[in-house]
Chain A
């Protein structure tokens, strides 16, 4: 089970509000992961 599976199931049930709630969680998770890894790998600092 994955959030995208929940999203697709909600779309096939034509429950777009619920599907978009799941999509929003996915977007937020993506942003959090992006910021976290950026910080962890110090990607904004020059390597050389």
Chain B
């Protein structure tokens, strides 16, 4: 069999194996995205035929005060996700990587929230920040007896209270970065130590640059998750009225 024929035969099989994933992509991604794009230019109640209205929906959306607040919140949350959330996850990964005493326990305790649903996790925070019986207010009332703040319903506390729900929940970041750290050849560390490098120098000049891709991936995942974040807002602020999350 000639090389050319073998190549063509292989090519056919490549296409055959690509068919299912392409079909799934078209059915579940491409068609919905195109539908979203087309119907965004219509007035559509789901029962009657869509009525073409041009860019009126976008004009209305950009005119909403709640949309402008959403963009501002997204900018703030995006920045916090990229810097604090991912930073915390990376820090924990670096600490666990060094395997200090009790690292295994920390790893287990740190991973526990990942088996709790976001809804349950959010409700825990709702109780923590509750005005009448929450831990936060009860603690503050030890020093200021008349203290009363409805953390999830008052501006500007609502933004920060919702932020606390997810800010230090960086298990995914830690796992992704830790897997990258474990893939670094030991020879690199040994060579650095032989040259007299200190722990922090190895961390900053070898580990951190080599984890660039996993940290970048974590930032993408964390920041885009802020765009789609719904449960944390809906369950704590009952949908986040525009006047509450500012």
Contacts and interface: CB of A to CB of B under 8 A. Distances in A.
A and B bound? yes
B61 A22 contact: yes
Contacts, number: 126
Q: How large is the interface on B (under 10, 10 to 19, 20 to 34, 35 or more residues)?
A: 35 or more
B33 A2 contact: no
A42 B212 contact: yes
Nearest to B35: A20
A27 B245 CA distance: 23
A19 B210 CA distance: 41
Contacts of B227: 2-4, 26, 29-30, 33
A33 B224 contact: yes
Chain A interface main SS type: helix
Contacts of B73: 1-2
Which secondary structure characterizes the binding site on chain B?
helix
A16 to B, nearest CB: 4
A22 B62 CA distance: 10
A1 B219 contact: no
B83 to A, nearest CB: 13
B102 interface: no
Nearest to A15: B45
B158 to A, nearest CB: 9
Interface in A1-48: 1-6, 8-9, 14-18, 20-27, 29-30, 33-34, 37-38, 40-43, 47-48
Interface in B71-95: 71, 73-74, 78, 82
Contacts of A25: 58, 61
18 contacts: A3-B71, A4-B230, A5-B230, A6-B61, A15-B44, A15-B45, A17-B42, A17-B53, A20-B39, A22-B61, A25-B61, A37-B82, A41-B213, A41-B216, A41-B219, A43-B212, A43-B213, A47-B209
